[in-house]
């Protein structure tokens, strides 16, 4: 584990570095897609900034609600970031931005799908390197790991499931598939596929993570995942057979 990098008098948090790289990666993928759609590429940087602000606020708010911790120090700290809170906050912020730009349409959702999956994968690499506590339950499996030098260390001699590695690899592969499928379906279906895939991934991994169960044997993340899967399925079923809407991939006038 390498929670910090010391460069003389400067100390860099590896989680923070990978967190920033996750946003940069997502922005790069969005820029590639905007170029294909012949939309202004500079919108990717605007979306990146808006998503970062909304995502961080959402992640901190979700954590504060979940932990019932509203201390100013916690809210302003670099820790206590929950993915689903960040995803919802970032989505809301980008939706407001897209409405302002006149591009709040299904194609905009689709261009975000591979970017979100890739950003998640990079973020989980940060969790693994920093050992921030997002690992799984104790295990005797051959692929178990110890996080003795992590930000949230495991007890000496205790191996746990390295869930950040599993999530990073699976979501990176999923991001690749989503990119390959970007022009395959009616606008909106790709985002539905993203919701189903990412929801199922998180639903499954939570069974070996160490989060508390809150409802019918499921964790908070699993309950949210079920909801996202249902929304994704509804989008796929509702949009799959429709002809593309006129001007869906074109920039709104004005």
pLDDT at 72: 47
Is the model's pLDDT at 194 over the cut of 50? Answer: yes
pLDDT in tens, 114-158: 999 999 999 999 999 999 888 999 999 999 999 998 889 999 999
Domain residue extents for the chain:
4-173
Query: Average pLDDT of 218-246?
Result: 85
The pLDDT, as a whole number, for residue 246 is 46
Percentage above 90 pLDDT, the chain? 58
> Which residue, 137, 133, 141, 143, is CA-closest to 169?
143
**pLDDT band at residue 13 under the 50/70/90 scheme:** confident
pLDDT tens digits along 41-93 = 999 999 989 988 888 888 778 666 666 654 544 545 555 566 667 778 888 89
CB 164 within 8 A of CB 152: no
Question: What pLDDT score was predicted for residue 142?
Answer: 93
User: How is the chain classified by DSSP, letter by letter?
Assistant: --SEEEETTEEEEHHHHHHHHHHHHHHHHHHHHHHHHT--TTHHHHHHHHHHHHHHHHHHHHHHHHHT---HHHHHSS----HHHHHHHHHHHHHHHHHHHT--SHHHHHHHHHHHHHHHHHHHHHHHHHT-S--B-B--STT-B--TTSSSPPPTT--B--HHHHHHHHHHHHHHHHHHTTTTSSTTHHHHHHHHHHHHHHHHHGGGB-PPEEETTEEHHHHHHHHHHHHHHHHHHHHTTSPPPTTTTSPPP-
Residue 76: partners with Cβ closer than 8 Å, 6 or more residues away: none
Please check the confidence at residue 248 and state whether its pLDDT lies above 70: no
Alpha-carbon distance of 209 to 164, in angstroms, equals: 10
């Amino acid at each position: 584990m390498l929670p910090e990098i010391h460069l003389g008098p400067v100390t860099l948090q590896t989680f923070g570095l990978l967190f920033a790289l996750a946003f940069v990666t997502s922005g790069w993928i969005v820029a590639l897609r905007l170029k294909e759609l012949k939309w202004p590429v500079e919108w990717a940087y605007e979306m990146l900034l808006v998503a970062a602000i909304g995502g961080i606020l959402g992640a901190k708010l979700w954590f504060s609600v979940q932990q019932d911790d509203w201390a100013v120090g916690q809210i302003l700290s670099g820790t206590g970031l929950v993915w689903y809170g960040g995803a919802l906050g970032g989505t809301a912020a980008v939706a407001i931005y897209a409405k302002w730009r006149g591009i709040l349409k299904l194609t905009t959702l689709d261009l975000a799908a591979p970017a979100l999956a890739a950003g998640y994968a990079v973020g989980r690499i940060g969790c693994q390197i920093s050992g921030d506590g997002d690992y799984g339950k104790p295990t005797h499996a051959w692929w178990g790991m110890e996080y003795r030098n992590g930000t949230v260390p495991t007890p000496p001699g205790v191996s746990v499931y390295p869930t950040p590695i599993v999530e990073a690899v699976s979501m990176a592969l999923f991001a690749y598939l989503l990119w390959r499928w970007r022009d395959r379906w009616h606008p909106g279906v790709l985002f539905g596929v993203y919701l189903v895939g990412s929801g199922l991934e998180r639903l499954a991994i939570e069974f070996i993570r160490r989060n508390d169960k809150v409802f019918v044997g499921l964790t908070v993340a699993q309950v949210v995942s079920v909801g996202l899967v249902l929304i994704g399925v509804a989008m796929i079923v509702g949009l799959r057979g429709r002809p593309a809407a006129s001007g869906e991939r074109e920039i709104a006038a004005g």
